[in-house]
Protein backbone atom coordinates (compact mmCIF):
# COMPACT_ATOMS: atom_id res chain seq x y z
CA UNK A 1 0.00 0.00 0.00
CA UNK A 2 0.87 3.64 -0.01
CA UNK A 3 1.38 5.48 3.26
CA UNK A 4 3.18 8.41 4.83
CA UNK A 5 4.51 8.33 8.37
CA UNK A 6 5.10 11.41 10.50
CA UNK A 7 5.65 11.86 14.23
CA UNK A 8 2.37 12.80 15.88
CA UNK A 9 3.86 15.57 18.01
CA UNK A 10 7.07 17.58 18.29
CA UNK A 11 7.98 20.18 20.91
CA UNK A 12 10.63 22.87 20.50
CA UNK A 13 11.67 26.15 22.07
CA UNK A 14 11.12 29.59 20.57
CA UNK A 15 14.15 30.65 18.54
CA UNK A 16 15.37 27.08 18.06
CA UNK A 17 15.43 24.80 15.00
CA UNK A 18 13.14 21.81 14.55
CA UNK A 19 12.99 19.05 11.96
CA UNK A 20 9.78 17.20 11.10
CA UNK A 21 10.35 13.91 9.32
CA UNK A 22 8.21 12.14 6.76
CA UNK A 23 8.85 8.61 5.60
CA UNK A 24 6.80 7.03 2.89
CA UNK A 25 5.96 3.74 1.27
CA UNK A 26 4.95 4.18 -2.33
CA UNK A 27 6.37 2.75 -5.49
CA UNK A 28 6.97 6.14 -7.05
CA UNK A 29 5.68 9.66 -6.84
CA UNK A 30 5.99 13.03 -8.47
CA UNK A 31 7.14 14.99 -5.48
CA UNK A 32 6.78 15.69 -1.78
CA UNK A 33 4.75 18.66 -0.54
CA UNK A 34 4.40 20.22 2.90
CA UNK A 35 1.37 22.05 4.28
CA UNK A 36 0.82 24.00 7.50
CA UNK A 37 -2.53 24.07 9.27
CA UNK A 38 -3.38 26.21 12.29
CA UNK A 39 -6.24 25.16 14.55
CA UNK A 40 -9.52 25.99 12.86
CA UNK A 41 -7.79 27.09 9.68
CA UNK A 42 -7.13 25.84 6.19
CA UNK A 43 -3.98 23.95 5.18
CA UNK A 44 -1.56 26.32 3.48
CA UNK A 45 1.11 25.24 1.03
CA UNK A 46 4.69 25.59 2.31
CA UNK A 47 7.02 23.82 -0.09
CA UNK A 48 7.41 21.20 -2.79
CA UNK A 49 10.38 18.93 -3.62
CA UNK A 50 10.27 17.39 -7.07
CA UNK A 51 13.95 16.40 -6.97
CA UNK A 52 16.27 15.13 -4.26
CA UNK A 53 17.92 17.79 -2.19
CA UNK A 54 17.13 20.85 -0.17
CA UNK A 55 14.63 23.58 -1.05
CA UNK A 56 14.85 26.76 1.01
CA UNK A 57 12.10 29.34 1.47
CA UNK A 58 12.90 31.84 4.17
CA UNK A 59 12.90 30.22 7.60
CA UNK A 60 11.51 27.00 6.16
CA UNK A 61 13.46 24.37 4.22
CA UNK A 62 12.40 21.01 2.89
CA UNK A 63 14.50 18.02 1.95
CA UNK A 64 13.84 14.91 -0.11
CA UNK A 65 15.81 11.70 -0.58
CA UNK A 66 14.02 9.26 -2.88
CA UNK A 67 16.63 6.56 -2.33
CA UNK A 68 15.92 6.67 1.42
CA UNK A 69 12.14 7.14 1.01
CA UNK A 70 12.48 10.07 3.34
CA UNK A 71 11.91 13.76 3.55
CA UNK A 72 11.80 16.44 6.19
CA UNK A 73 10.68 19.97 6.88
CA UNK A 74 13.14 22.18 8.73
CA UNK A 75 11.91 25.24 10.59
CA UNK A 76 14.49 27.75 11.82
CA UNK A 77 14.27 30.66 14.25
CA UNK A 78 11.03 29.26 15.60
CA UNK A 79 8.30 31.72 16.46
CA UNK A 80 5.20 31.16 18.57
CA UNK A 81 3.06 31.56 15.44
CA UNK A 82 4.70 28.42 14.04
CA UNK A 83 2.65 26.36 16.48
CA UNK A 84 0.47 24.36 14.09
CA UNK A 85 0.08 20.99 12.45
CA UNK A 86 2.34 20.13 9.53
CA UNK A 87 1.41 17.62 6.83
CA UNK A 88 3.54 15.97 4.18
CA UNK A 89 1.79 14.86 0.99
CA UNK A 90 2.68 12.95 -2.17
CA UNK A 91 1.05 12.21 -5.50
CA UNK A 92 1.88 8.61 -6.46
CA UNK A 93 3.14 8.08 -10.00
CA UNK A 94 0.78 5.32 -11.00
CA UNK A 95 -2.77 4.90 -12.25
CA UNK A 96 -4.04 5.58 -8.73
CA UNK A 97 -2.31 8.97 -8.54
CA UNK A 98 -4.49 10.58 -5.92
CA UNK A 99 -2.76 12.87 -3.46
CA UNK A 100 -2.02 11.20 -0.13
CA UNK A 101 -1.55 13.20 3.06
CA UNK A 102 0.24 12.08 6.20
CA UNK A 103 -1.64 12.23 9.50
CA UNK A 104 0.21 15.37 10.46
CA UNK A 105 2.70 16.47 13.10
CA UNK A 106 1.53 18.78 15.83
CA UNK A 107 4.31 21.30 16.60
CA UNK A 108 4.30 22.84 20.09
CA UNK A 109 6.49 25.91 20.64
CA UNK A 110 7.58 26.71 24.19
CA UNK A 111 8.56 30.25 25.17
Partner 1 sequence: DAGVTQSPTHLIKTRGQQVTLRCSPKSGHDTVSWYQQALGQGPQFIFQYYEEEERQRGNFPDRFSGHQFPNYSSELNVNALLLGDSALYLCASSLGGTGQYSNQPQHFGDGTRLSIL
Q: Which residues bind partner 1 (CB under 8 A)?
A: 4, 30-31, 33, 35, 41-45, 48, 50, 87, 89, 91, 93, 97-104
- Is the separation of the CB atoms in 4 and 89 below 8 Å? yes
By beta-carbon proximity to partner 1, the closer residue of 60 and 101 is: 101
Question: Please, what is the minimum distance in Å from the beta carbon of residue 103 to partner 1?
Answer: 5
By beta-carbon proximity to partner 1, the closer residue of 44 and 79 is: 44
- Which secondary-structure segment (H or E) carries 31? strand 29-37
By beta-carbon proximity to partner 1, the closer residue of 48 and 60 is: 48
Question: Please, what is the minimum distance in Å from the beta carbon of residue 109 to partner 1?
Answer: 19
State the burial class of residue 102 (Cβ atoms within 10 Å of its Cβ: 0-12, 13-18, 19+): buried
By beta-carbon proximity to partner 1, the closer residue of 11 and 44 is: 44
Neighbours of 35 (CB within 10 A): 20
Mapping DSSP onto H, E and C, the string for 6-17 reads: CCCEEEEECCCC
Question: Please, what is the minimum distance in Å from the beta carbon of residue 15 to partner 1?
Answer: 28
Amino acid sequence: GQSLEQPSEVTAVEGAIVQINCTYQTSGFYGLSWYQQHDGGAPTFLSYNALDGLEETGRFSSFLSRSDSYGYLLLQELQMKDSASYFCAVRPANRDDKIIFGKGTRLHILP
